[in-house]
C-alpha cells in the first residue's frame, strides 16, 4: 500500500497535500503528559520503546496527521557517545562535562560503535512498524552535526553560542574534528533507523541561524549533505528531508542529493518556491503561534496553498508546536490543510 507522505516526498500525485507537525508527539496532548508521568521523566520515555512508540502514535489517532515522527531526542547521540546527559526541569538538557579540548573529543565513542548503543531507538521503530497503519509513514530523524555540536561544546542550550563561535574562529580545526566525529556516528544512526523500518528521515539543523551565511556551508551544510548523500546512495527509495532553521540568505547556495527542503516560518514560502521549488519538494511553513487562533490558521493555510498549488509540497509548521496550544486547534490545522488541498 502506498503511503501518501512518501509519495509527496517524491512529488508523486496525492489526493491532497499531506500534513504533519514538528513536535506533534508532545506536551500539548494530555495523553502524552500521562505517559510521560508514567515514564518518570523525559529521558526515561526516550529509553522505553513501548512508551515511546505509544506517544509516537498518539497524534495520528488524536490529531489526524498523515505521518508519525519517531519520539526521541537529538541529544541521545552525544549521550551514547559518552557525554553524561541530564534534563533539568526548567533548564532543559545539560551535559555535565562539555567538550573543551581535543582529548575530550578523542575520549568519545565514534562511528558504528556509538550508533550501536542506540538500540532503544531501533526497538521503538520496530514496534511502530508493527503498530502503525500501512498507509502511514514513519519519519526517523537526527539533529544536524552543527546543532549537536553546539550542545556538546556549550553544555546546554544557549542564546549566544559564544563557546562554539569562539572555537569556530579561533580553533576551527577542533570544531571540524568534533563535526567529523558526530557526522560519522549520525550516518550509521540514520542507516540503522532505516534498517529498523523508518520510511523517511529528517535532519534538523535547529541552530543553523547561529552561523553567518558565508560560514554556513563549511561548518554545517556540507556535513548534512554528506549524510544525505551517504543515505541516498544506499537507500534511494527512502526520502531525505533537510530542515535548516533560519537561513533565508543561504537559499541561493543550497545544494545536495536529498528530496525535501523544510522551510521555516521566517522564510517566505514564495521565495523558497522561486529558489528551490523546481529541485526539491518544500515542507512547511506556518508560523506555529498561529495555532492559537483558528481564523489565523485558516488564513495562513489558504495563503500557503495559493502559493504551492498542491504541487511539490508537504504542509507543516515552520517549527515545533508549542505546549499550550489547544488540541482542537491542532486538529483544525490538519483538517484545513486537507480541505484546501483536496484534489
Would you kindly state where each structural domain of the chain is located, as residue ranges?
4-341
How confident is the model over 182-203, as a mean pLDDT?
A: 98
C-alpha cell at 153: 561544546
Q: Which residues are catalytic?
A: 23, 27, 36, 73, 151
- Using the CB atoms, write b or e for 48-71: b if 16+ within 10 Å: bbebbbbbbbbbbebbebbbbbbb
Q: Which pLDDT score, from 0 to 100, does residue 14 have?
A: 98
Average pLDDT estimate for 284-299: 98
Helix (H) or strand (E) holding 179: helix 172-196
Q: Provide the pLDDT confidence category of residue 72 given band limits of 50, 70 and 90.
A: very high
pLDDT for residue 89: 81
Give dist(CA 132, CA 138) in Å, integer. 8
Sign of the CA dihedral running 117, 120, 121, 122? positive
Mean pLDDT of 276-297: 98
Rounded percentage of the chain residues whose pLDDT exceeds 70 = 100
pLDDT at 288: 98
Q: Answer yes or no: is pLDDT of 293 > 90.
A: yes
Above 90 in pLDDT, residue 60? yes
How many CB atoms are closer than 10 A to CB 215?
Answer: 14
pLDDT surpassing 90 at residue 88: no
Confidence of residue 1 (pLDDT cuts 50, 70, 90): confident
Apex CA 62: angle with CA 58 and CA 68, to 5°? 45
Q: Average pLDDT, stretch 68-75?
A: 98
Q: Supply 64's cell numbers.
A: 489526524
Query: What mean pLDDT comes out for the span 314-320?
Result: 97
Query: How confident is the prediction for the chain on average, in pLDDT?
Result: 97
User: Domain 4-341 is of which CATH architecture?
Assistant: Alpha-Beta Barrel (3.20)
Q: E-assigned strands of the chain? A: 67-69, 85-88, 92-95, 137-143, 200-205, 240-244, 260-262, 281-283, 313-314
At residue 141, the pLDDT reads 98
Q: Is the pLDDT of residue 128 over 90?
A: yes
Amino acid at each position: 500500500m502506498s503511503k501518501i507522505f512518501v509519495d509527496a516526498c517524491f512529488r508523486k500525485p496525492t489526493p491532497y497535500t499531506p500534513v504533519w507537525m514538528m513536535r506533534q508527539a508532545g506536551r500539548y496532548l494530555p495523553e502524552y503528559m500521562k505517559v510521560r508521568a508514567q515514564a518518570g521523566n523525559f529521558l526515561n520515555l526516550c529509553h522505553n520503546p513501548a512508551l515511546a512508540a505509544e506517544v509516537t502514535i498518539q497524534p495520528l489517532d488524536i490529531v489526524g496527521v498523515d505521518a508519525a515522527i519517531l519520539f526521541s531526542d537529538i541529544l541521545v547521540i552525544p549521550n551514547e557517545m559518552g557525554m553524561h546527559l541530564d534534563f533539568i526541569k526548567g533548564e532543559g538538557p545539560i551535559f555535565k562535562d562539555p567538550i573543551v579540548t581535543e582529548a575530550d573529543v578523542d575520549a568519545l565513542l565514534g562511528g558504528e560503535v556509538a550508533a550501536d548503543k542506540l538500540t532503544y531507538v531501533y526497538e521503538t521503530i520496530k514496534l511502530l512498524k508493527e503498530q502503525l497503519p500501512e498507509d502511514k509513514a514513519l519519519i526517523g530523524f537526527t539533529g544536524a552535526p552543527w546543532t549537536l555540536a553546539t550542545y556538546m561544546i556549550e553544555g546546554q542550550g544557549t542564546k549566544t553560542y559564544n563557546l562554539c563561535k569562539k572555537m569556530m574562529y579561533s580553533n576551527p580545526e577542533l570544531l571540524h574534528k568534533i563535526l567529523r566525529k558526530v557526522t560519522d556516528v549520525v550516518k550509521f544512526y540514520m542507516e540503522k533507523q532505516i534498517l529498523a523500518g523508518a520510511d523517511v528521515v529528517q535532519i534538523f539543523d535547529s541552530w543553523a541561524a547561529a552561523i553567518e551565511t558565508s560560514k554556513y556551508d563549511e561548518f554545517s551544510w556540507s556535513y548534512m549533505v554528506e549524510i544525505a548523500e551517504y543515505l541516498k546512495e544506499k537507500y534511494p527509495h527512502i526520502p531525505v528531508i533537510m530542515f535548516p532553521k533560519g537561513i533565508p540568505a543561504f537559499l541561493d547556495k543550497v545544494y545536495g542529493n536529498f528530496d525535501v527542503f523544510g522551510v521555516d516560518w521566517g522564510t517566505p514560502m514564495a521565495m523558497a518556491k522561486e529558489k528551490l521549488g523546481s529541485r526539491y519538494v518544500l515542507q512547511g511553513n506556518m508560523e506555529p503561534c498561529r495555532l492559537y487562533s483558528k481564523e489565523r490558521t485558516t488564513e495562513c493555510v489558504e495563503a500557503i496553498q495559493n502559493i504551492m498549488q498542491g504541487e511539490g509540497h508537504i504542509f507543516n509548521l515552520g517549527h515545533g508546536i508549542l505546549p499550550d496550544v489547544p488540541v482542537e486547534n491542532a486538529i483544525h490545522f490538519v483538517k484545513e490543510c486537507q480541505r484546501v488541498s483536496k484534489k
